[in-house]
Amino acid sequence: MIKNYDKVRIGMAMSGWPFLNNDPSQLADYVIEMERLDIDSLWFTDRIVSETFTLETVVAMSFVAALTEKLKFGTSVIGLPLRNPTILAKEIATLDYLSNGRSLPAVGLGPETENDYEACGTDKKSRVGRTEEAVEIMRLLWSGNNVSYKGNHFTLSNVSIEPKPVQKDLPPIWFGGRSEPAINRTAKIGDGWLVSYATAEEVSISVPKIKGKALEYGNHIEDDHYGALISFCFADTRQEAKKLAGNYNVVRRADVDLKDVTAFGPPDILINLLDDFIKAGATKFTLRSACPPEMTFDQMRLLGKYIVPRYHNG
């Protein structure tokens, strides 16, 4: 049995628009109640090109910042090569300043579809290089002035941005992905690792691997900067929950058992899964409710009643 949950934090993930109607007040009510329930953070899925109703992540985070006082907010994950790093650094620094240090940028390589890159003025083949350069540029702009930089994709000459982030050690840049290149990239330039729909066993293998590679690269990653995104749906039985989640479950992995990457059923199923992940080395969780829109608020309230107190007060 795990006795110490000191570093464990329970946040929520939001993909698309999980509400009954398109009234923005739905999101306002959601985040205000989320903060009241002591949920740690809200993480937004990022898609620029999509027919699905999906909020632009930076704008959405500013909306959350204005409505709350302690709720953190992040991207899970933002497609970094689709964006200009100077503009994004300015946006995140401004958000961090206005929210008193609550921004949590997690980044990735972006979607697999070519037209996303074309629409954003770039190309897919350069996404790895653009991502690595963008991370370096953002950190330089956050930590100093008169920045000059010459890379293969970006050039800066005597550039400064203000305000600077208020977080003491700068906003931590977490990476997503569970592939070997993603793990290597996290170890090389990441401040943390937020993986989506991995099993606890995969996490138990990957966390030591990232730690070992990070040492080789001379990169320090805090022990509590490993997290996982998990879909959940509460119901009296696993079968009932799976039925409710059927049209809203975004996990598309044929190589693993669904129960190892989701928690469908009574709260104990989610507790057991979270404890497995904690034993594997994860401490930060973004939980996504896979349910019909009319249940979105109730699922969050059940999370706040049965899950959050166990880990935040334990």
User: Model pTM?
Assistant: 0.95
Q: Which of 272, 190, 256 is nearest to 227 (CA)?
A: 190
Res 305: pLDDT: 98
Q: How many structural domains compose the chain? A: 1
Output DSSP code: residue 188: H
Specify if 19 maps to a domain: yes
Res 2: pLDDT: 63
Q: Which of 152, 149, 279 is nearest to 204 (CA)?
A: 279
pLDDT in tens, 42-56: 999 999 999 999 999
Specify if 100 maps to a domain: yes
CATH number at residue 154: 3.20.20.30
pLDDT in tens, 190-240: 999 999 999 999 999 999 999 999 999 999 999 999 999 999 999 999 999
Cβ 175 vs Cβ 186: under 8 Å: yes
- Distance, in Å, from the CA atom of 285 to the CA atom of 280, rounded to the nearest integer, reads 13
How many residues are present in the chain? 314
Point out which residues pair with 231 in neighbouring strands. Answer: 262, 288
Domain range for residue 205?
9-312
Each residue of 250-260: b (16+ CB within 10 Å) or e? Answer: bbeeeeeebeb
Specify if 101 maps to a domain: yes
pLDDT in tens, 122-132: 999 999 999 99
pLDDT in tens, 27-81: 999 999 999 999 999 999 999 999 999 999 999 999 999 999 999 999 998 999 9
Q: Which of 16, 12, 10 is nearest to 248 (CA)?
A: 16
Whether pLDDT at 165 is above 90: yes
Res 1: pLDDT: 52
Of 31-35, 36-40, 85-89, 165-169, the range with the lowest mean pLDDT is 165-169
First to last CA, the chain: 12
Secondary structure element (H or E) that encloses residue 94, with its range: helix 85-98
Cβ 279 vs Cβ 223: under 8 Å: no
Specify if 209 maps to a domain: yes
Specify if 4 maps to a domain: no
60: left (phi over 0), alpha (psi -120 to 50) or beta: alpha
Band (pLDDT 50/70/90 cuts) for residue 109 is very high
Mapping DSSP to helix (H, G, I), strand (E, B) and coil, where does residue 150 land?
A: strand
Of 4-18, 94-108, 243-257, the range with the lowest mean pLDDT is 243-257
Whether pLDDT at 314 is above 70: no
Amino acid, res. 34? M
Output DSSP code: residue 177: -
pLDDT in tens, 258-296: 999 999 999 999 999 999 999 999 999 999 999 999 999
Burial of 1 (0-12, 13-18, 19+ CB in 10 A): exposed
Specify if 298 maps to a domain: yes
- Across the chain, which distance is largest between two alpha carbons, in Å? 60
Specify if 3 maps to a domain: no
Specify if 296 maps to a domain: yes
Res 10: pLDDT: 98
Tokens at 77, concatenated: 């994950």
Mapping DSSP to helix (H, G, I), strand (E, B) and coil, where does residue 230 land?
A: strand
Res 250: pLDDT: 83
